[in-house]
A = this chain, B = another copy of it.
Amino acid sequence: MTDRIEFWFEFASAYSYIAVEEIEAKAAKAGVAVVWRPFLLGPIFARQGWTGSPFNIYPAKGAYMWRDMERLCAQKGLAWRKPSQFPRNGLLAARVATVLAESDAIGSFVKGVYRANFVEDRDISDPKVIGDVLRGVGLAPEETLIRATGDDIKARLRERTDEALARGVFGAPSFFVRGELFWGGDRLDQAVALANS
């Protein structure tokens, strides 16, 4: 059995951008397979009584997050631009990622969406933007977007979000390895090490 790390991400999440940029190389180096798990934080935050991002609800936490992101990206050599709108609605992107979850294109698509949001400051809720990302990774936008809005995909994404909640996920990025939950990009190395142990 291949060692694996489940990667649970939400397209609106700034910290998930860093994890997305790092996980494939780190997992490959350790001989660990990445299982991509797009989900929605909205319903999970709603259960905690939050009607939006905690980074907007708690301004001190938000101000810190933006500075922290800037420093982390500089340190890691990642491109970064603070988006002019936050959080952006990642529902359509999450549905497309649900379509693509088992395909070879998933990593490139996910990275493309995060870069559109957090490097190019584009609105990832716009089907045209998602279409551009799909074209960029060699996929036909029309066909994929139609599949992404099918009832089966909508239901699968809802199930994934319910599963995240049931398994104790409360933020993104999150990782599961051998039943252990790890929260935040700061735990990626620890999670990969466990998968590889």
Where the two chains meet, the residues of A that have a C-beta atom closer than 8 Å to any C-beta of B are 48, 58, 60-61, 63-64, 67-68, 71, 75, 168-171, 180-184, 186-187, 190
Q: Which residue of the partner chain B has the closest CB to A50?
A: B58
A48 to B56, CA, bound (A): 12
- In the complex, besides A68-B182, A68-B183, 14 extra interface pairs with C-beta distance below 8 angstroms are A58-B170, A60-B168, A60-B169, A61-B170, A61-B171, A64-B168, A64-B170, A64-B181, A64-B183, A67-B180, A67-B181, A71-B190, A184-B186, A186-B186
- Report whether A170 and B60 are in contact in the complex, using a CB–CB cutoff of 8 Å: yes
Measured between beta carbons, the chain B residues less than 8 angstroms from A190 are: 71, 75
Contact A168 B68 (CB under 8 A): no
Q: Which B residue's beta carbon lies closest to that of A187? A: B68
Residues in B neighbouring A168, C-beta threshold 8 A: 60, 63-64
Q: Which residues of B contact A68 (CB under 8 A)?
A: 182-183, 187
A–B pairs, 17, beta carbons within 8 Å: A48-B58, A48-B60, A60-B168, A60-B169, A60-B170, A63-B168, A64-B168, A64-B170, A64-B181, A64-B183, A67-B180, A68-B182, A68-B187, A71-B180, A75-B190, A184-B186, A186-B186
Q: Which of A64, A67, A71 has the most CB of B within 10 A?
A: A64
User: A171 contacts which chain B residues (CB < 8 A)?
Assistant: 61
| Shortest distance from the beta carbon of A193 to any chain B beta carbon, whole Å | 9
Q: Shortest CB–CB separation between residue A155 and chain B, in angstroms?
A: 24
How many whole Å from A176's CB to the nearest CB in chain B? 12
